[in-house]
């Protein structure tokens, strides 16, 4: 089955390569769909960094659509493509530690009905997109850690970290709070609430690591426990289960007790069966590598292990 899938992916990649030099108004949307699907297949695999090229291609194709007067940019499917591209772009920032490639200069924001917007957001993000895209801010801050060379640059870095913390504290204000944000997306699914809480605490933990390092202090333990408490409230096989990957890896990379490790490992092993994609297995390999190295090292940087040894793995 895997060999057949690789064969089909190879044919699709070659067909896209043949199409790109000749893209016009009649074929640009086809090329964009192919680019996004191939990007998703690479991200789901977890061992290939080919998604980087497909994201760059998606950005160029979106820019092409934006400049074509004949393109129907208000159509529902185009809006969906834009959202999907931005989702995948943000998903990759944990690996790149850079701002997303696709921004408002690539394609302008388009008005849409609330009903269509909520349905698309639920299908693509699972959790409120305002929270999901906070990962852009957090990982952009991570890219600036190297600027901390003296007291002034350290102060500037921490000022920006405080701004990111403020945005993380207030992301749901426009909805009247967390509950309102979740209800706007899925009013009858408690799993959305629990996945959202887990994701928010994962972002808080990542922000703490970026500013303070990878020690396991009381704040880290608190973040880990909040993540795991929320994750355990989501039923096995839930459609929201994939939203737990980033929180579980964050918790797994920072947990300090055997009980916490068992919760993380058990859920990831279940997700390997219910989700079935390679990046789930790679994520479990990552946290288990962290645990093994903790046996001989006092402080282990999970992000460095991912960067140096698992370059194709994106966590989202």
DSSP string, 149-161: -SHHHHHHHHHHH
Same-domain check for residues 135 and 223? yes
pLDDT given at position 79: 85
- Check whether residue 188 and residue 270 sit in a common domain: yes
Contacts of 201 (CB under 8 A, 6+ apart): 223, 226, 227, 230, 247
Q: Is there a contact between 81 and 33 (Cβ–Cβ < 8 Å)?
A: yes
Same structural domain, 156 and 170: yes
Intervals of the chain under pLDDT 70: 1-3, 5-8, 68-76, 108-116, 187
E strand or H helix at 192, and its extent? Answer: helix 190-212
Q: Let me know whether 155 and 119 are in one domain.
A: no
Single residue among 124, 150, 180 that ends a domain in this structure:
124
Identify whether residues 101 and 176 lie together within a single domain: no
Residues whose CB falls within 8 Å of the CB of residue 271, separated by 6 or more in sequence, listed in order: 241, 242, 244, 245, 280
Q: What is the DSSP string of 1-45?
A: -HHHHHHHHHHHHHHHHHHGGG--TTTHHHHHHHHHHHHHHHHHH
250 and 198: one domain?
yes
Whether 149 and 82 share a structural domain: no
Q: Tell me the residue range of the domain where 281 lies.
A: 130-316
- If asked whether residues 146 and 285 sit together in one domain, one would say yes
Helices (H), 46-174: 51-67, 76-91, 93-96, 114-124, 129-132, 134-142, 151-170
- CA–CA distance, 303 with 108 (Å, rounded to integer): 33
Question: 213 and 120: one domain?
Answer: no
**Given this model, what pLDDT does residue 7 score?**
67
Q: How many domains does the chain contain in total?
A: 2
- The helices-and-strands tally (H runs, E runs) of the chain is 16, 0
Q: What is the pLDDT of residue 175?
A: 87
* Statement to judge: residues 138 and 175 lie in one domain: yes
What pLDDT is attached to residue 111?
Answer: 55
How far apart CA 87 and CA 79 sit, in angstroms, is 12
> Residues 6 or more apart from 113 whose CB is under 8 A from it?
none
162 shares its domain with 22? no
60 and 152 in a single domain? The answer is no
Length of the chain: 316
Calpha distance 206→270 (Å, rounded) = 24
């Amino acid at each position: 089955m895997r060999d057949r899938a690789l064969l089909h992916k190879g044919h699709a990649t070659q067909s896209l390569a043949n199409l790109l030099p000749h893209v016009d108004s009649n074929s640009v949307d086809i090329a964009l769909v192919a680019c996004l699907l191939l990007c998703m297949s690479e991200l789901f695999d977890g061992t290939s960094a080919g998604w980087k090229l497909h994201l760059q291609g998606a950005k160029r194709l979106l820019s092409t659509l934006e400049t074509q007067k004949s393109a129907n940019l208000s159509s529902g499917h185009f809006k969906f493509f834009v959202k999907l591209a931005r989702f995948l772009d943000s998903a990759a920032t944990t690996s790149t530690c850079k701002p997303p490639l696709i921004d408002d200069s690539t394609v302008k924001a388009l008005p849409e009905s609330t009903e269509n917007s909520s349905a698309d957001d639920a299908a693509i993000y699972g959790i409120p997109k305002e929270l999901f895209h906070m990962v852009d801010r957090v990982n952009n801050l991570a890219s600036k850690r190297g600027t901390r060379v003296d007291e002034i640059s350290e102060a500037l870095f921490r000022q920006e970290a405080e701004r990111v913390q403020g945005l993380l504290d207030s992301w749901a204000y426009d909805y009247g709070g967390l509950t309102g944000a979740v209800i706007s997306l899925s009013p009858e699914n408690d799993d959305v609430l629990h996945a959202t809480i887990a994701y928010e605490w994962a972002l808080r933990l990542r922000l703490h690591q970026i500013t303070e390092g990878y020690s396991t202090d009381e704040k880290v333990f608190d973040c880990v426990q909040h993540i795991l408490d929320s994750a355990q409230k989501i039923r096995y096989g839930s459609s929201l289960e994939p939203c737990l990957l980033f929180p579980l890896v964050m918790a797994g990379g920072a947990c300090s007790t055997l009980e916490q490790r068992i919760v993380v490992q058990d859920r990831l092993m279940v997700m390997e069966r219910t989700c079935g994609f390679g990046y789930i297995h790679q994520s479990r390999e990552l946290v288990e590598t962290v645990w093994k190295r903790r046996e001989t090292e006092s402080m282990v940087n999970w992000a460095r292990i991912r960067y140096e040894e698992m370059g194709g793995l994106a966590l989202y």
